[in-house]
């Protein structure tokens, strides 16, 4: 392990008090979480290290036992383990139950508690970066996959007037809308229904991978139907400004990209683990630098 040096040139020593953290996933080498969370620890002066662990599905239970046995304070869980990890935990927070998935585990003296910070991270990013007012808003969500679940539940908690979830497989949209329950008026529709409502919403959220590298010229909707003044938000962060966002901007809409969700889901995890306010801007700068260092972002 040895000695590490942070951006400001201060020495960070790994010693017998260093607290361990990490991210479990398969694949994992593309993850920006180690540089982002590592920077947060340095900024906050926390004696901790955060590693990336390549864990196959058949090793997941053992890896979670290792978290407990070795006294890791916490881990993030990423694709494809966010659902499969749930039975191995001792408790689930409401955010994890609502999303049906866990992306953050906190180890409270051997009790492993699962959280989902994706949805709340998304909403915090959306509010801070776009200034959108969600109370009373009419929202169109595109897609009903893993990321959409947490986002739908977190948006519902903001008291919108209505959320319409459009998905290629309509049954998944209906099931997700139903799971939101009485927290907000929510309805699932098929993809072909988008054109009827896209011009009358305040916020459009793309939760599909359409437009993501290497298919950066793909766009999920006909942009000519987007009304000026609409906030258009894309979970995709590679590229940071997708074709959907570029086209929306030329029509007078306000664009919100997916980078902030990545930063704020990590910020919430950092706050749950340490009890300290996350150094969000430093974390964002670190992720941006990591992306810029790569030719193709990912
Ligand atoms: P997922 O579980 O595979 O869900 C994908 C969703 O997109 C499904 O609803 C799927 O519809 C729909 N879809 C995919 N291709 C489509 C197409 N060609 N036409 C219409 N619909 C299509 O994926 P996910 O984990 O939710 O991730 C979705 C995106 O969010 C990815 O780009 C991911 O990188 C991004 N994301 C970003 C963050 C962040 O921090 N910014 C966090 C999480 C995810 P069907 O149900 O019909 O298949």
Does residue 127 carry a pLDDT above 80? yes
Q: pLDDT, tens digit, for every residue of 95-122?
A: 999 999 999 999 999 999 999 999 999 9
Does residue 10 carry a pLDDT above 90? no
**Rounded CA separation 92/25 (Å):** 19
Ligand 1 site, residue 266, Cβ cutoff 6 A: no
Q: 113 CA distance to ligand 1 centroid (A)?
A: 26
Does residue 25 carry a pLDDT above 60? yes
Does residue 1 carry a pLDDT above 90? no
pLDDT at position 297 is 47
Q: 167 CA distance to ligand 1 centroid (A)?
A: 10
Does residue 253 carry a pLDDT above 70? yes
pLDDT at position 95 is 93
Band (294; pLDDT cuts 50, 70, 90):
confident
pLDDT at position 183 is 83
Ligand 1 site, residue 145, Cβ cutoff 6 A: yes
Q: Using a pLDDT cut of 90, give the percent of the chain over it.
A: 91
Catalytic residues: 82
Taking the CA atoms of 99, 104, 108 and 110 in sequence, report the sign of the dihedral they define.
Answer: positive
The residue-averaged pLDDT of 23-36 equals: 96
Whole-number average pLDDT of the chain: 93
Is 231 within 8 Å of 132 (Cβ atoms)?
yes
Ligand 1 site, residue 236, Cβ cutoff 6 A: yes
Does residue 146 carry a pLDDT above 60? yes
The residue-averaged pLDDT of 197-201 equals: 97
Token pair 């329950």 in the structure block, residue: 181
Ligand 1 site, residue 258, Cβ cutoff 6 A: yes
**Rounded CA separation 264/278 (Å):** 9
Ligand 1 site, residue 212, Cβ cutoff 6 A: yes
Band (182; pLDDT cuts 50, 70, 90):
confident
Q: 6 CA distance to ligand 1 centroid (A)?
A: 35
Q: 261 CA distance to ligand 1 centroid (A)?
A: 14
The residue-averaged pLDDT of 266-288 equals: 97
**Rounded CA separation 87/238 (Å):** 32
Residues in Cβ contact with 152 at an 8 Å cutoff, skipping those fewer than 6 apart: 119, 141, 144, 163, 165, 176, 177, 179, 180, 186
Report the range of poorest mean pLDDT among 10-14, 63-67, 190-194: 10-14
Cα-based distances in Å from 3 to 48, 227, 298: 12, 54, 28
């Amino acid at each position: 392990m040895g000695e590490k040096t942070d951006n400001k040139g201060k020495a960070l020593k790994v010693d017998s008090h260093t607290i361990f953290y990490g991210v479990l996933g398969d694949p994992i080498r593309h993850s920006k979480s180690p540089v982002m969370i590592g920077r947060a620890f340095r900024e906050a002066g926390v004696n901790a290290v955060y590693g990336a662990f390549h864990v196959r599905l058949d090793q997941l239970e053992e890896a979670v036992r290792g978290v407990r046995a070795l006294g890791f304070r916490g881990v993030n869980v990423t694709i494809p383990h966010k659902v499969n990890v749930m039975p191995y935990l001792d408790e689930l927070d409401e955010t994890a139950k609502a999303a049906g998935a866990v992306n953050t585990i906190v180890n409270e003296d051997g009790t492993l508690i699962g959280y989902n910070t994706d949805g709340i991270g998304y909403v915090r990013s959306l509010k801070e970066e776009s200034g959108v007012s969600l109370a009373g808003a009419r929202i169109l969500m595109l897609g009903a996959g893993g990321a959409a679940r947490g986002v739908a539940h977190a948006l519902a908690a903001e008291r919108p007037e209505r959320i319409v979830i459009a998905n290629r497989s309509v049954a998944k949209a209906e099931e997700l809308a139903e799971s939101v329950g009485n927290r907000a008026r929510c309805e699932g529709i098929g993809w072909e229904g988008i054109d009827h409502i896209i011009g009358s919403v305040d916020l459009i959220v793309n939760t599909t991978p359409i437009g993501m590298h290497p298919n950066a010229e793909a766009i999920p909707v006909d942009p000519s139907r987007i009304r000026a003044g609409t906030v258009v938000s894309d979970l995709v962060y590679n590229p940071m400004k997708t074709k959907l966002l570029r086209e929306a901007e030329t029509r007078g809409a306000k664009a919100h990209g997916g980078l902030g969700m990545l930063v704020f889901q990590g910020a919430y995890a950092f706050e749950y683990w340490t009890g300290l306010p996350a150094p969000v801007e430093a974390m964002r700068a670190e992720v941006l630098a990591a992306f810029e260092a790569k030719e193709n972002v990912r």
